[in-house]
Structure 1
Amino acid sequence: MISKLPDFPAIKKLAEALWQQDVKKHGAAIIIGAGFSRCSSKHVDGARKLPLWKDFAKKLACELDDANKDLAFSDPLRLAEEYRAYFGQTALNDLIRAEIHDEAWQPGAMHHELLSLPWSEVMTTNWDTLLERAAKNVHSQIYGVVSKQSDLSSIRSPRIVKLHGSIGVTEQFIVAQEDYRKYPENFAAFVNFARQVFIENELCLLGFSGDDPNFLQWAGWVRDNLANHSRRIYLVGALNLSASKRKLLESINIAPVDLWDAVKDIDDHDLWQQQAIELFLKELLNLKPKPKHEWKPTQLVRQQINHEDHSRQFNEPVYAASLLESQIEILRRDREAYPGWFVCPPELQWRIQSQLSDPRPNIDNITPLEQSSKEKLLYELAWQHTVTFNL
């Protein structure tokens, strides 16, 4: 289960920002990388996969010469720069359009699941148009599309912002070393927009690997320009990070959300990436808070219990204490989700008063608890008595 993963608290933190209902507080934005499109799109022939950076770099290397093939893995941006210097900008643009072949791809279910979530902004470094085409069939969120810098002034949030160009719309794509080096100068409006997004929102990176050139460039830009002013950036995926790589990411304000343990039994690389993204999106939806008017305490009475177990909770204090221990976290979540009514509705007061009845706390079954658990349980009991006026 994803909730058992060590990085699950980071998912909860991101979900809290995503589902933030108080407009005065920060929300959550997302940057989509090539790995997301590869996992969620469908080709007309049903077999092909959208290329990743490494695939694109191999194509560049093959069209140059054999001596450059190692660059496909060491520095794809330099390889793209060399290709442009040799063949020209038009040839590089044509290669991108041919490799992506945008019209042959259709958005998948994950595109719709992603865009149905209340992101404050959706940014992408992808050149394909899958997100904007998927947005046409999403009605819970209405997204404007920003393909050029001039669109920023006329299109309101939430927006799908094409940071690195868009096939069929822009004449230039961000792909080579010089493109990245001159990006702050040539695309100042996008840079200022991104700065504001990074300061005001929790930021999620989805569809990137730890060595993705786009990820490295944007993470470096944030570090150089925003210092400590940006919020934590969450890199989500089946990352399979070593301890040293995790430490490195954390040192540059990147919080890894590594879902590897949830999908490591899957053999196919694309399938475990797809499964990881599906699990992540599903969990964000599961963490959506219920409307305040629907709040009610969790039912803690066990539905199926034999006579022996029923008797044990009265005759064995240690066993009864273990049952109480397992309920403390549920009590805490109920309390934190309480809408803050000045007067709790009478029908809910009774449900709160009778919530702890399997077993009902008493001095015998509280005594075996560890000190910290006693304190937590008594705190929840005190809150229940206060909110129900049962003093």
Structure 2
Amino acid sequence: MSQRSKSIAVIIVAAGKGERAQAHGAAAPKQYQALRGVPVLARTVNAFLAVPEITKIVTVIHSDHRAQYAALRLEDARLLPAVEGGATRQASVLAGLQALAPLRPDIVLIHDAARPFVDPGVIGGVIAGLEGNDGALPVSPVVDTIKRSADGRQVARTEDRSQLFAAQTPQGFRFAQILSAHLRAANQPRNFTDDAEIAEWAGLRVAMVPGQAGNFKITHAEDFVRAERMLQGDRLMETRTGIGYDVHQLAPGDAVWLGGVRIPHHSRLQGHSDADVALHALTDAILGAIGEGDIGVHFPPSDMQWKDAASTLFLKHAGELVAARGGRIVNCDVTIVAEAPRIAAHAPAMCAVIAETLGISARRVGVKATTNEKLGFVGREEGIVAMASASVEVPRVD
């Protein structure tokens, strides 16, 4: 039998008082505080209701929160009546498991109510991870260097972070096995921090599957700020991509301007301005991403004020148009096609010029070059071509 044909129940643990996050300015526990008008707990429940394979959901709440839970007005045939939790998370999970016991689901997913941004991909990954395993949980690699200290003041040693992973929820298990493990653990003096630890203690085989950075737990007041920003980006901003292309003929000279960098050469690029094909293509890409025409619309070659102008002026103007719309440039990528001069050694300088002109990090800029393998007008060194793409984030419009 495949995982998809099995009954899959969910326990959402919402029995905490959420006191650490109440500095957010609300009297309500964190799971009942609103994120852009929707309470955290409602967002979490709806995330699981969006997965058709889920058959039943039980929410474990604090005994003092029945009125607040009822005010959420959550309605779905798969939602069971909420049950009251215990003094600890472990006790609350056991209460949820016992509420599900009469239904005898094949699989149970146990999730923190304060992780409202869990998505179907993570949920599906946990379910798939149960193939051949007793349990599965989403994790993310630890990226910070971890120090161990016995007294919190002096470093004892540095841990090998390549073997460390941060646990997330939902954590999935075969129902009968995790219920048995929880019943046994209830009699232990040990404080188990999550359900995977109980499973490990009980000798169950627990697999790790990829988690997501956005699946974070709202714990402190500043986490609400992060959550609001995530939702603002999802609802109010959109990413657009533009593509630019330019070509200029080569003529006798002593240097070419490419990417805002003067490169000594036996030729120059012909054009009304400095004929910097790389910056012209990138300017067109940015203008295209925001629907502002092309470089000729803003800087017509018939206008003599732009004769011999530095193309950084054109690029800066395009960046300013993005900023004027309340947007930002996410990244730029430029490809220069030329037989000569050699470009690679100058690419870092080009990235720096582009980044400074646009007011972004050089890590958001890519410049690369290739030849045309001696083919066509580029191969005959009659001209240079540049292609560019730019992604910008701007306020969403309908």
Q: Which structure is higher in strand share?
A: 2
Larger RCO, structures 1/2 (Cα 8 Å, 6+ apart): 1
User: What's the TM-score, normalizing by structure 1?
Assistant: 0.30
Higher helix proportion, which one?
1
* TM-score using structure 2 length: 0.30
